[in-house]
C-alpha cells in the first residue's frame, strides 16, 4: 500500500515561460518555453503560442521533474 495521497487534479498543467523573439513561421511575438513528454523522453521546447510551430527542441532531464534519491545519498563506508 502506498503512503502518499492520490492527486486531486485530473490533468497536469505546465505554465509556459514567455521568451523574446518572433515565430519564424507566422511572425507572431508569442514564443514560450516549457517541458513536454514526447517520443524519446522529456524535452525542453520553445514553441509559438499562436501557431504551435516548434522553434527549438532539446533533451530535458531523463526523469522530468522527478529527482531520484539515489544520486543524492552518500555511500557508507
Instruction: Annotate the chain with DSSP letters as a single string.
Output: ---SPPPS-SS----PEEESS--TTT--S-EEEEEEEETTEEEEEEEETTT--EEEEEE--TTTT---SGGGSPPP-
Q: Residue range 39-62: average pLDDT?
A: 92
* pLDDT tens for each residue of 17-45: 999 999 999 999 999 999 988 888 889 99
- Kindly report the pTM of this predicted structure: 0.67
Instruction: Supply φ then ψ for residue 18, to 5 degrees.
Output: -60, 140
Domain count, the chain: 1
What mean pLDDT is reported for the chain?
86
- Domain assignment present for 4: no
44 within domain boundaries: yes
The domain of 27 spans 17-63
Amino acid at each position: 500500500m502506498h503512503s502518499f495521497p492520490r492527486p486531486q487534479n485530473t490533468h497536469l498543467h505546465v505554465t509556459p515561460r514567455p521568451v523574446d523573439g518572433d515565430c519564424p513561421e507566422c511572425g507572431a511575438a508569442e514564443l514560450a518555453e516549457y517541458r513536454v513528454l514526447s517520443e524519446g523522453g522529456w524535452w525542453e521546447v520553445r514553441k509559438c503560442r499562436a501557431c504551435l510551430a516548434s522553434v527549438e527542441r532539446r533533451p530535458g532531464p531523463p526523469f522530468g521533474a522527478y529527482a531520484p534519491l539515489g544520486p543524492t545519498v552518500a555511500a557508507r563506508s
